[in-house]
Structures are given as C-alpha cells and as structure tokens.
Amino acid sequence: NAGVTQTPKFQVLKTGQSMTLQCAQDMNHEYMSWYRQDPGMGLRLIHYSVGAGITDQGEVPNGYNVSRSTTEDFPLRLLSAAPSQTSVYFCASSYIGQNTDTQYFGPGTRLTVL
Amino acid sequence: GQQVMQIPQYQHVQEGEDFTTYCNSSTTLSNIQWYKQRPGGHPVFLIQLVKSGEVKKQKRLTFQFGEAKKNSSLHITATQTTDVGTYFCAGHAGNMLTFGGGTRLMVKP
C-alpha cells in the first residue's frame, strides 16, 4: 500500500513552459485534491475532485487545470508557468463522509519557475 | 468564501512550557481537523472533532471544538523537542476543506 504518491519531487521550469504534476493513490479514495503551500500562507486549495469525471475549483484555480479519468489518478497541469507559481504542491486524498474524511497527503513537489 | 484563521503564526517556547494555538472560522463547520507538518515534510492527520463542545485528548495534546462549531484550539502540555513543526487546523464546509495559515512551533531544549 503506497498511499499517495507524487512525481516529480523537484522541478525547475522556465516562464511559459507547461508541465503536469502527477498524483496517484491506491486506497480507493473518492476525494482527491491539490494544494499549494507558500511560506506563511498555509495550504491553499487549487482544485478538488469527488470522484472520477468530477472536478471543481478551489480557492486559487487560475493557471491550473485538472482532470480525473480514474479513481486513482489526479494530475495537475500548469498551462503556462509563471514565477508566482513557484511553490510546494501537495496532493491529498480521502474517503467522503463526516467521520472518514481524513486527508492523506503525498510527499509534495517543489516547483521553481524562473 | 470560507476563511479559517489561526493564531499565533509563530510561537517559541522553552522545552517543558505549554503551547496553545487557536483556530477561527468565518462560517459554521461540519467538522474540524488538525494536522502536523514537520519541517520539510508533509501534513499528517492528528485528529478530527465533529460535535459541538467536543474535547479530545492524545497524550499531552488536548483538542477542543467550540460550542458554535466556528472555533477550535490545540493545547500541548509540557512541550518536547519532538513537538517542533507547524500545526494546521482545517475546516469542512460542503466539499471544500479550508486550512488555516498554521502555527509554527519552535521548542528550545
């Protein structure tokens, strides 16, 4: 049981480049989400999904796209990277339900945009 | 939209002193969760509170959920160096889980 995995662990991009951050979970969780963490800003929700084929925007969705074609995978796409997207990105997953929605976080991807 | 505020942002304590972090939401929450993130690590779930006025304990950690389900606190008794990290509260409103800004705890041995 690998839990939540994220790739890559580190990435450096140039302004304007695009890339996809990968996230996968093997716990059959319905709920998956992406957060970014900036110093002093806590965790801000980018996008989330309550099941395959269903996605929704969080607090800070601009500049990011997601899709959820399977229960296991929830990739995050940066369309045209900007320096303001330099951050640590965490993927998380959970069951849906008031007493079962503990979030399991992946190890994170540290992204630098030059 | 929903906002979750946490205070203080930073706290330095001497080992053995107590520590408290407070969490306030702009909206009523269905539940509140607490997470700990060690430096360089990822957030790890500590506990969830669901009922109004609920109090839960985990060894030296005491968690409270306010009567109005809009505020919460985490208290650590007699801090140890292993308590170092950032403590986040997170509140559910609908399908969105909103995190507070976190309180970074530093413990001097």
pLDDT of residue A99: 66
- Whether residues A45 and B92 touch (CB distance < 8 A) is answered with no
pLDDT of residue A28: 94
DSSP string, B57-107: EETTEEEEE-TTSSEEEEEESS--GGG-EEEEEEEEETTEEEE---EEEEE
- Whether residues B50 and A98 touch (CB distance < 8 A) is answered with yes
Q: How long a stretch of residues is chain A?
A: 114
pLDDT of residue B38: 96
Cα atoms found within 13 Å of the Cα of residue B11, Cβ hemisphere only? 24
Residues 6+ apart with CB under 8 A from A111: A10, A11, A12, A13, A21, A78, A85, A86, A87, A88, A89
pLDDT of residue A96: 85
Of B45, B48, B100, the CB nearest to A42: B100
- Tens of pLDDT along chain A (114 residues) come to 789 999 999 999 999 999 999 999 999 999 999 999 997 678 999 999 999 999 999 999 999 999 999 999 999 999 999 999 999 999 999 998 766 688 999 999 999 999
Of A43, A50, A106, the CB nearest to B99: A43
What residue ranges of chain B have pLDDT lower than 70?
A: none
Q: Note whether B94 contacts A: Cβ–Cβ < 8 A.
A: no
Nearest in space to A93 (alpha carbons), one of B31, B72, B93, B97? B97
Q: Note whether B3 contacts A: Cβ–Cβ < 8 A.
A: no
Would you say the C-alpha torsion A9, A14, A15, A16 has a positive or negative sign?
negative
- Whether residues B95 and A104 touch (CB distance < 8 A) is answered with no
- Whether residues A48 and B48 touch (CB distance < 8 A) is answered with no
